[in-house]
Structure formats: structure tokens, C-alpha cells
Amino acid sequence: MRALLLRDLRLAMRAGGGFGLGLAFFLIVVVLVPFGVGPQTELLARIAPGILWIGALLACLLSLDRILALDWEDGSLDLIATAPVPLEAVVSVKALAHWLTTGLPLVLAAPVLGLLLNLPAPGYGWLTLSLLLGTPALSVIGTFGAALTVGLKRGGLLLSLLVLPLYVPVLIFGAEVARRGAEAMALTTPLAMLAGITCGTIALLPFASAAVLRMNLR
């Protein structure tokens, strides 16, 4: 499994769907927001948590179609599926590789980009924590969507349409944690909900992804 993880990390770096593209898109979103809403610092501070979370979510979407597509195109997905390794573990490793190359860099960059939106000082730590808790769920859900659309021509748009509704709860509670943290409000409930969603997706969706992938490979 470690060899598969290292292979996926190398492919993500070489194929143009790695952390560089996601970070560039994240930066573009954050830079363009002040031009769209105006330079009012109070307004930017109020909407900063939501904008940063939306930017991170959309940046994750950019590389979802490449989680399984490259393996499908070169035929290695069939070999992996017939290997003496549980397919649930395979999709979990691929979700981990996606998070390491896309989600983790966004988590690390978010506090720096928060400066551009005048994010209040108490919100930096909570923003980082919310992204650290929420972005793994985005990768696992995205892997499930990639398993549903693997082998389809021009499946990228369909993948986005399938995945976005599943992303909404993560976005709501993640942005709420960051907002309440920035405003020094109680955040036990949204934090627990966000952690619960992430734990639930990690526990359940690999089995659903593996089942869908088996049907698509028949």
C-alpha cells in the first residue's frame, strides 16, 4: 500500500493535477474577491471564512477526475483491482494521496491568504483547524464520485455535479467553525458536526467507492 501511495503522489505531481494547480486557483479566488466586493475591510473580514472555504472546496474539485482516470487510461486499474489487496484499501490510499497533494497544501496556505481578506486574528487557528478536519472528507467524497464516473468520456462535469451536493454539509459546518472562531463565539456544535461528517465519510465511503468501482470494472 505504501508503494501505491508513493506512485499516486508521483503521478499527481507529474500530471498537472497536484498541489500547484490547486494553490494557484485558491490564490486567484482570494485575490479576485476584493475586486468584486470592494475594499471595505469590515465586509472582507466578515465574509473571509466563507470565501476561504469556498475557494478551498473549488480547488479540491479541480483534480478529482484524475484520482482514478489515469489508472483507467493505462489499464493499471484492472491490475490493481485483481491484486490480492482489498479494493477498499486501494480507494482509501487514493483518497489519502489526493488529500496530501491538494487538501494539505490548501490547509497550510489558508492562513497566509487570510491576510488578503483581513481575517480577524482569532480566526486563523480555527480556520486552519476547520480545513484540517474538513478537507479529508472532501477527498474521500471526491474519490467516491471519481469511482462513479470512471471510464465515462467527459466525466469531469458530471463528477462535479454529483459531488457538489455532498460537499455542502462540509462547507456549511467548516465555514461556520471558521466564522465563529473569528468572532470568538461558541463553536462546539459546528466543530463536532464537522468532525462527525469527516469520520463518517472516512468510515463508510471507501466501501461504497469499492462497490461502485467493482461494478464499473465488470
pLDDT tens for 131-181 read 999 999 999 999 999 888 887 776 677 888 889 999 999 999 999 999 999
pLDDT at residue 155, rounded to an integer? 66
Q: Which pTM value belongs to this model?
A: 0.90
How far, CA to CA in Å, does 84 sit from each of 80, 89, 103, 143, 158?
8, 11, 29, 21, 31
pLDDT at residue 163, rounded to an integer? 92
pLDDT at residue 17, rounded to an integer? 52
pLDDT at 200 over 70: yes
- Length of the chain measured in residues: 218
pLDDT at residue 7, rounded to an integer? 72
Rg (Cα) of the chain, in Å, rounded?
18
The mean per-residue pLDDT over the stretch 2-7 comes to: 74
